[in-house]
């Protein structure tokens, strides 16, 4: 039961924040004539924000230290990135949740109460409903964009990418509800999943940088190539341990690149079309992947 509670809360602390930000990126990408899409994005952002708020309320003393210190829930730059993004887009962001997330305490040894299990179960059920809704919405946007009936500032690949992230989140919550835990075979598949995600981040970054930012574009291209190679190798891999080491090495360097990215964008030193919160978002996803790779 303790495992079920901790894993559920850790999952939501990372992914519910990711989902509310996806909704914000979608909202920011639509033009004024697409008011219905903007409203639906805003509604989903608020619903995931409320979910995250409730998760943060019950998470102190309930989650592992490795998750809290990984930088996947919040980074040192999240608050600043939120403030800047709120100002630039005029889309509301509840920064109080971020402040409280920074102060979460790690798990103590005590057993969790049955009441806590009920609360977590209700949160899991609520997240499943919301995830089905955001998945359907992202699918609809993608299909409209691909048939040129809708314009957005977001790449079609980015919409497909955030759709896959939502589906992964849903698969984990469903597994927790079915088996009370997340089984190891799913953890193995996640390496393939996240290598592709990391590669796509590099492709988005290179495409959203100002064309004059040549050095950063070159580095982003190198990371895209490195992850593409890892993906190719994984197809005919005999020894998975070596691949994990390579992924760990590449992702550690990538974490530094993304950290430089978010600070550069927060401080207005990088010319780009990247919202500060998007820069922090991709850093958190790298931090999450690093924790998985280190098996913490
Ligand atoms: Fe994401
Ligand atoms: Fe991502």
Q: For the full predicted model, state whether its pTM sits above 0.85.
A: yes
Q: Do the first three CATH levels of 1-63+104-182 and 183-296 match, i.e. the same topology?
A: yes
Tell me the CA–centroid distance for residue 3 and ligand 2, in Å.
26
What are the domain boundaries of the chain?
Answer: 1-63+104-182, 183-296
User: Exposed, middle or buried: residue 251 (CB in 10 Å: 0-12, 13-18, 19+)?
Assistant: buried
* Cα distance between residue 157 and residue 170, in whole Å: 20
- Please list the rounded mean pLDDT of every run of 10 residues in the chain (296 residues): 90 98 98 93 98 96 95 98 98 98 86 89 98 98 98 98 98 96 76 95 98 98 97 78 87 98 98 98 98 90
CB 198 within 8 A of CB 254: yes
Tell me the CA–centroid distance for residue 277 and ligand 1, in Å.
11
* 3-state class (DSSP) for residue 267: coil
Ligand nearest to the CA of 15: 1
DSSP-derived letter for residue 71 is: T
Which residues keep their CB under 5 angstroms from ion ligand 1?
Answer: 18, 165
Tell me the CA–centroid distance for residue 59 and ligand 1, in Å.
22
Tell me the CA–centroid distance for residue 162 and ligand 1, in Å.
5
Say which residues have a Cβ less than 8 Å from residue 148's Cβ, sequence separation at least 6. Answer: none
Which residues keep their CB under 5 angstroms from ion ligand 2?
Answer: 197, 285
Cα Dmax for the chain: 58
Token digits of residue 139: 């699918």
pLDDT at 48: 98
Say which residues have a Cβ less than 8 Å from residue 140's Cβ, sequence separation at least 6. Answer: none
pLDDT at 2: 72
* Cα distance between residue 85 and residue 28, in whole Å: 10
Tell me the CA–centroid distance for residue 285 and ligand 2, in Å.
6
pLDDT at 282: 98
Enter the CATH code of domain 183-296.
Answer: 1.20.1260.120
Ligand nearest to the CA of 22: 1
Tell me the CA–centroid distance for residue 281 and ligand 1, in Å.
6
Enter the CATH code of domain 1-63+104-182.
Answer: 1.20.1260.120
């Amino acid at each position: 039961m303790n495992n079920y509670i901790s894993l559920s809360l850790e999952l939501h602390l990372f992914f519910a924040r990711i989902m509310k930000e996806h909704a914000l990126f979608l909202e920011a990408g639509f033009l004024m004539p697409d008011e219905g899409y903007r409203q639906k994005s805003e509604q989903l952002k608020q619903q995931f924000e409320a979910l995250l708020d409730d998760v943060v309320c019950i998470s102190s003393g309930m989650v592992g230290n490795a998750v809290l210190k990984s930088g996947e829930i919040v980074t040192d730059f999240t608050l600043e990135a939120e403030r800047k993004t709120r100002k630039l887009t005029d889309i509301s962001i509840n920064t109080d949740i971020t402040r409280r997330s920074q102060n979460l305490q790690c798990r103590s040894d005590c057993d969790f109460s049955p009441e806590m299990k009920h609360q977590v179960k209700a949160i899991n059920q609520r997240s499943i409903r919301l995830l089905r809704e955001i998945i359907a919405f992202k699918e609809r946007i993608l299909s409209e964009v691909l048939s040129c009936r809708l314009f957005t500032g977001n790449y079609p690949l980015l919409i497909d990418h955030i759709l896959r992230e939502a589906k992964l989140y849903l698969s984990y919550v469903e597994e927790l509800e079915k088996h009370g835990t997340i089984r190891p075979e799913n953890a193995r598949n996640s390496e393939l999943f996240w290598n592709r995600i990391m590669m796509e981040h590099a492709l988005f970054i290179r495409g959203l940088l100002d064309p004059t930012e040549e050095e950063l574009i070159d580095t982003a291209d190198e990371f895209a190539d490195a992850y593409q190679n890892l993906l190719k190798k994984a197809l005919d891999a005999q020894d998975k341990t070596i691949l994990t080491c390579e992924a760990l090495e590449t992702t550690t360097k990538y974490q530094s690149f993304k950290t430089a990215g978010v600070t550069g964008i927060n401080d207005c030193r990088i010319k780009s079309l990247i919202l500060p919160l998007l820069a922090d978002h991709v850093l958190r996803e790298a931090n999450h992947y690093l924790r998985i790779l280190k098996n913490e």
